[in-house]
Amino acid sequence: MSIASLALKSFRNRKFATGLAIISITLSVTLLMGVEILRDQAKASFTNTVSGIDLIVGARSSPTHLLLYSVFGIGNPTRNIDWSSYKEISQHPQVNWSIPISMGDSHAGFRVLGTDNNYFKYYRYARDRRLSLRLGDWFEHADEVVLGAEAAVKLGYRLGDEVIVAHGAGNESFITHDDKPFHVVGILDKTGTPVDRTVLVSLGGFDGMHDDWVSAEGDQAHDPLLGKHIDENHALDRNISAFMLGLKSRAAAIGMQRSINQFDHEPLSAILPGVALLELWEIVSLVENTLFVISVFVVIVGLFSMLIILMASMNERRREMAILRSVGARPVHVFSLIISEAVFITLAGILLGGALVSAIMLFGQNWIAQQLGLFVTLNWFTSNQLVILSLVALLGFLIGLIPGIRIYRYSLIDGMTVRV
Amino acid sequence: MQASTSAIITFEKLRFGWPRQQGFLLDIEHFQVVPGERVFFRGPSGSGKSSLLSLIAGVLVPQSGSISILGNSLSEMNSATRDRFRADHFGIIFQQFNLIPYLSVEENVTLPCQFSALRTRRATTRSGDIKQEALRLLNHLDMADADTIQKPVNELSVGQQQRVAVARALIGSPEILIADEPTSSMDADRRQAFIDLLFRECHESKSTLLFVSHDNSLQGSFDRGVELDELNRTVIDNSSRLKEVF
């Protein structure tokens, strides 16, 4: 029976109190790591999604707004842009490729994106990775859809299945286009970007479902809401929500951005996605930092609960220490008995917290994706996160020194007197 | 009195006081104990009995003078050596709360062997291994029945706990046994039975016994009684000074 097994037995003797300390540290570490992982992954996922795009163009609005609705499906465009504007800009000599996108519809909670073949050909994520089909082909006709990997799994669709599209994002849309079924012709591979949660149709299909719907609906006057919607969306021949551009040289992006911002035909905004992301981070950094500071304080509170429990057991231990001293234990044994308990509690809390946060990320992936639009993947902790965890361990050790030094001094002062 | 070379414990010009307190608590010119002797220390509380025992056991260190145990000078040892020396040569029984609550009876008895290879060796030589030796001692003390030995130590009666403490003090046959008011929480008839048992065990293991109490009625059976106030010059000085004042 070494000091270690003595510590273990002492620990088991106080398992209720130490268990509580471990739980409080576990929960606080879970919170801290959760905040850290979410913010890291949010940044990584956002950056990956736009990494292949040089410019995003939409109706005049703030860069972050345009970025959020065009790529991440968060929010809606204030106004659409003319097809003719798209045509004109995409034929600019500097433009290598262009991808038009139309949005505003959903299917069973998944965003419907109208686009063309360029999307499949040119869209790049995670620097230079291109979309690939797990099953089937890219759409060719107006009544064909391609599903993102997750949408396909969630909806349980297979190739050839019929899909019915509803108007407006979200599950509880007012209007369903029951009369215009689409057929699934392809399913994409997983990308870890919002593409996974997207239902892709051709621009023709996207427009068509509205056109058909208008002509089929004879008594739209019954529902003023429907009528209003049509007026807004179909005042012009064809319009799209935004488009993405790939340039021949990334260096041309700033000049190109300036000329698009001064476009004559209608007011447009062009954004550099990387720059817009930085702006976005700046906006959320206050919230982000606040969350981090709060979670750091929660960890400190968790560690102090351990201190309280160790200090509360001090009188009882003082007696044990006198006994141990009398049989030949050194003051340093007595000291290490307390320290090892503090270290054990802290490490157990850190390990359990790490496991809990990983479990939450693993099993909460879908929920987080649905609620936050954030694609978290279960990774090993980053070096930054490991540093934070080490600091928590160090702090636990330092806090353990308080009762440790106290009992050490007692063991010198008390001699062999058993204080009652 | 025997020659100092054969003494097991020798004090010379010992002075001890607590830091930050004026004067000395203990001031002993010369004191010796011979091997196998059973010494009864008597004195009111606060007279320095516990400090004296801590000095002998090497937990406390005197400001001046020397303590020599088994021919070794404690003041020449560093604290680590003193701790090891204590583990090897002393068995100590406290007034109460002698046992570590989260260890079993057997683990409490074998505890000194964790800190002393010498006592482990002696216990092993005697009974084969330290567990057997613990059982043998407990059996000797009427504590070895399966029911008692299985119990958590805090469910034992005070008398039973003190007997477990005796077994712990005796395991590995240390040369010196120190008992600091071990009977104070027992009633009168149990007290004498406990002391008889202690004597029997000390005799068998040829240990020297230092017994501290403020209860004079126990003194009869000891080889020698020492009044701490008579041994301690600090007290004599103080009382003579008091006499001068009045």
pLDDT tens string B118-140:
999 988 888 888 888 888 888 88
Whether B101 has its CB under 8 Å from any CB of chain A: the answer is yes
CB contact under 8 A, A2 and B114: yes
Whether B174 has its CB under 8 Å from any CB of chain A: the answer is no
User: Which helix (H) or strand (E) element contains residue B120?
Assistant: helix B117-127
Sorted by where each begins, the domain ranges of chain B are: 4-245
Mean of all residue pLDDT scores within chain A: 82
Query: Chain A partners of B99 at a C-beta cutoff of 8 Å?
Result: 323
Query: Chain A partners of B110 at a C-beta cutoff of 8 Å?
Result: 1
Tens-digit pLDDT profile for residues A107-146: 888 888 999 889 998 988 877 788 899 988 898 888 889 9
* CA-to-CA separations, A18 to A28, A174, A207, A308, B96, in angstroms, rounded: 15, 55, 64, 10, 27
What is the per-residue pLDDT for A147? Answer: 92
The token duo for B79 is 């604290």
CA distance A251 to A343: 54
What is the per-residue pLDDT for B52? Answer: 86
Higher pLDDT, B148 or A62: A62
Whether B95 has its CB under 8 Å from any CB of chain A: the answer is yes
pLDDT band (50, 70, 90) for residue A215: very low
What is the per-residue pLDDT for A217? Answer: 38
User: Which has the closest alpha carbon to A63: A278, A277, A276?
Assistant: A276
Q: Helices (DSSP H) in B144-225: which residue ranges?
A: 146-150, 158-170, 188-205
CA distance B129 to B112: 14
- pTM here is 0.71
Cβ atoms A300, A398 nearer than 8 A:
no
The token duo for A4 is 């270690």
- pLDDT at B151 > cutoff 50: yes
Higher pLDDT, A305 or A78: A305
pLDDT band (50, 70, 90) for residue A75: confident
Which of B49, B55, B60 best tests the A interface by mutation, with the highest count of A CBs <10 A?
B60
- Minimal-distance CA residue of chain A relative to B107: A1
- pLDDT at A15 > cutoff 90: no
Provide mean pLDDT across the span B78-96. Answer: 88
User: Which helix (H) or strand (E) element contains residue A188?
Assistant: strand A182-188
Here the ipTM equals 0.83
CB contact under 8 A, B101 and A320: yes
Please determine, looking at this structure, whether the domain spanning B4-245 carries the CATH number 3.20.20.140. no
- The shortest CB-CB distance from A328 to any of B51, B116, B180 is to B116
* Type of residue at A154: K
Tens-digit pLDDT profile for residues A324-363: 888 888 888 888 888 988 999 999 999 999 999 999 888 8
Whether B111 has its CB under 8 Å from any CB of chain A: the answer is yes
Provide mean pLDDT across the span B163-173. Answer: 89
Which of A315, A323, A326 best tests the B interface by mutation, with the highest count of B CBs <10 A?
A326
Hey, which residues 69-88 in chain B have their CB within 8 Å of chain A?
Answer: 79-80, 83-84, 86-88
The token duo for B199 is 């004597």
Phi, psi of B92 (to 5 degrees): -125, 130
Provide mean pLDDT across the span B110-120. Answer: 89
Q: Which residues contact A257 (CB under 8 A, 6 or more apart)?
A: A55, A270, A271, A272
pLDDT band (50, 70, 90) for residue B192: confident
Going by the DSSP 8-state scheme, the letter that residue A241 receives in this structure is S
What is the per-residue pLDDT for A250? Answer: 84
- pLDDT at A273 > cutoff 60: yes
Mean of all residue pLDDT scores within chain B: 82
Q: How far is B24 from chain A (nearest CA, A)?
A: 16
What is the per-residue pLDDT for B234? Answer: 66
Higher pLDDT, A95 or B150: A95
- pLDDT at B94 > cutoff 50: yes
* CA-to-CA separations, B184 to A180, A330, B155, B159, B179, in angstroms, rounded: 97, 28, 19, 11, 11
- pLDDT at A213 > cutoff 60: no
pLDDT band (50, 70, 90) for residue B224: confident
Provide mean pLDDT across the span A164-179. Answer: 55
CA distance A43 to B43: 76
Query: Chain A partners of B123 at a C-beta cutoff of 8 Å?
Result: none
Of the given ranges (A368-382, B148-162, B220-234), which has the lowest mean pLDDT?
A368-382
pLDDT band (50, 70, 90) for residue A390: very high
What is the per-residue pLDDT for A403? Answer: 92
What is the per-residue pLDDT for A74? Answer: 82
The token duo for A174 is 């007012």
- The shortest CB-CB distance from A328 to any of B50, B101, B112 is to B112
Residue B112 CB neighbour total at 10 angstroms: 29
The token duo for A76 is 């809606």
Length of chain A in terms of residues written: 420
Whether A319 has its CB under 8 Å from any CB of chain B: the answer is yes
Cβ atoms A26, A347 nearer than 8 A:
no
Query: Chain A partners of B112 at a C-beta cutoff of 8 Å?
Result: 327-328
Which of A410, A414, A416 best tests the B interface by mutation, with the highest count of B CBs <10 A?
A416
- pLDDT at A26 > cutoff 70: yes
pLDDT band (50, 70, 90) for residue A25: very high
Hey, which residues 41-70 in chain B have their CB within 8 Å of chain A?
Answer: 50-51, 53-54, 57, 59-60
Three-state secondary structure call for residue A104: strand
What is the per-residue pLDDT for A228? Answer: 37
- The shortest CB-CB distance from B115 to any of A13, A320, A329 is to A329
What is the per-residue pLDDT for B242? Answer: 46
Higher pLDDT, A307 or B151: A307
Provide mean pLDDT across the span A194-213. Answer: 77
Query: Chain A partners of B83 at a C-beta cutoff of 8 Å?
Result: 325, 328-330
Which of B77, B86, B88, B154 best tests the A interface by mutation, with the highest count of A CBs <10 A?
B86
Whether A324 has its CB under 8 Å from any CB of chain B: the answer is yes
User: Which has the closest alpha carbon to A105: A216, A205, A219, A218?
Assistant: A205
CA distance A397 to A391: 10
